[in-house]
Chains A and B, each alone.
Chain A
Amino acid sequence: MQVNENKEFQPLIVAFCCNWCSYAGADLAGTNRLNYPDNIKIIRVPCSCRVNPMFILRAFQRGADGVILCGCHPGDCHYTSGNYFTRRRMTLLFSMLDFLGIERDRTRVEWVSAAEGAKFAATMNEFTEAVKKLGPNRRLEDLRCRKQ
């Protein structure tokens, strides 16, 4: 989280992107000079199913205000079925966060292919706006990691 006195709150967003589709999609957004917020920190993973619930929690712990997970479209996973498992896992995890009263709009899963640079940029803009509205992450933050 970065708060600057005269500026509005800028959320820190962590985006886990699978190597084969979404990371390439992000690249394409870059080469096409499409705008997306610079507060998005991309972490490249081999496949969306590499991300286990602990990664998401850790991201929040280390200061993320929102976490988005991007992978290949269902049916297109480089490893055939990884994203189908991701889908079940993340559905249950997000539902559990919601159950614990943690804002569910801080988390999202989105399928972005290597050809969808525009979708990548649009998704990130939209997600950043949504998280901005929620304000800083307080319910799942680690006080010891808060930046002053």
Chain B
Amino acid sequence: MQEAMINKAKQLLADGIVDRVIGWKRGEFVYDITPAIFETAEELEKDFVYDDFTAANVSKYLVKESKKEGKILAFLKPCDTYSFNQLIKEHRVVRENVYIVGIPGGPKLDAEKIKEKGITGILSVKNENYTLKIETVYGEETMPFYEAVLDKCASCKSKKHMIYDELLGEEGDVLDSNRFDMVEKLENMTAQERYDFWREQLSKCIRCNACRNVCPACTCEKCVFDNPDSGIENKAPADSFEENMFHIIRAFHVAGRCTDCGECSRVCPQNIPLHLLNRKFIKDINTFYGEYQAGEDTTSRAPLNEYKQSDCEANIVHERGAE
């Protein structure tokens, strides 16, 4: 895939269709893949990477990049196209300035999950019939491929691109996803159990704000969490109230807008399952107001910007059985 992508990018640059390319570059370790801009064929040859660790969604970068002069080429996985669509809907990107090549998605790998197996010093990985062969500085190791897959890919909702100018590779389908399983499991616990579960998770938060920074729905120029008058500006949570508040407000702000790209959980250095909060909102919206997935289109109204006279009353939450 990497070769085909580099060739495609070089050709589009040479034909003058695009002026820049947003892709990924390798950092210090093999699994350190971060988005980067390329301007020439030489740069592409030298640094462009697309492999099993390339999970970053580049659509948020296009908010800034698409406002610059000239056209930019972006390679988007199916999940990324939902985010890009949502950004178009919210008038955050200049569509004309982006040339989208749809590429097949994951499953992508989670280096943390490999390290959890005690495998360190990773030099390279190879998927051979769903056994992961890992070259390390200490010799070769193996593990089942699916045990190293990122959580967001394990509960993928769609392999179909929602928007593109051109496709590279085969198009997939919207999947019958298991993404609400864990939300349901939590819903079936008692309030005390849920409280304990979330205390354990949320108390790990160091308020690095990475989840907000990476989120393609969090594109506010002035975020509440940057407001010096709010008393909660860029600081570590002082107690359980602030932890709860940050997470409730962050999730609420993206309710009905979250494209379920899973980036927030992926980047969290503390491994907090943030997607469960977003998915709870998606699930509630589906049950209360009808099926809706942000990013599927660019025209429909967001569920929180809309209402029906026949909507359920808020008390529905209180009537939902004991505990």
- Measured CB to CB, the residues of A under 8 A from B are 53-54, 57, 60-61, 74-75, 81, 84-85, 87-105, 108-109, 139-144
B126 to chain A, nearest CB (A): 40
Bound CA span A84–B314, Å: 11
Check if A85 sits within 8 Å of B307, measured CB to CB: yes
B294 to chain A, nearest CB (A): 14
Bound CA span A101–B240, Å: 13
Q: How many A-B residue pairs have CB under 8 A?
A: 113
Any A CB within 8 A of the CB of B195: yes
The residue of chain B having its C-beta at the shortest distance from the C-beta of A56 within the complex is: B248
- Measured CB to CB, the residues of B under 8 A from A are 186-187, 191-198, 224, 238-242, 244-245, 248-249, 251-252, 255, 277, 280-281, 284-285, 288-289, 303-304, 306-309, 311-318, 320
Contact A101:B285 (CB < 8 A) given known A88-B311, A96-B252: no
Bound CA span A75–B240, Å: 39
Bound CA span A91–B313, Å: 7
The residue of chain B having its C-beta at the shortest distance from the C-beta of A97 within the complex is: B248
Check if B311 sits within 8 Å of A87, measured CB to CB: yes
B281 to chain A, nearest CB (A): 6
The residue of chain B having its C-beta at the shortest distance from the C-beta of A94 within the complex is: B317
Question: B195, B238, B314: which has the most chain A beta carbons within 10 Å?
Answer: B314
Bound CA span A93–B306, Å: 16
Contact A94:B251 (CB < 8 A) given known A57-B245, A87-B311, A142-B242: no
The residue of chain A having its C-beta at the shortest distance from the C-beta of B280 within the complex is: A99
With A100-B244, A102-B244 given, name 4 new contacts (CB 8 A): A54-B224, A57-B248, A85-B307, A99-B186
B-side contacts of A141, CB under 8 Å: 241
Out of A75, A93, A97, A100, which one reaches B309, CB within 8 Å?
A75
B-side contacts of A104, CB under 8 Å: 191, 317-318
Check if B314 sits within 8 Å of A90, measured CB to CB: yes
Check if A61 sits within 8 Å of B304, measured CB to CB: no
Check if B255 sits within 8 Å of A87, measured CB to CB: no
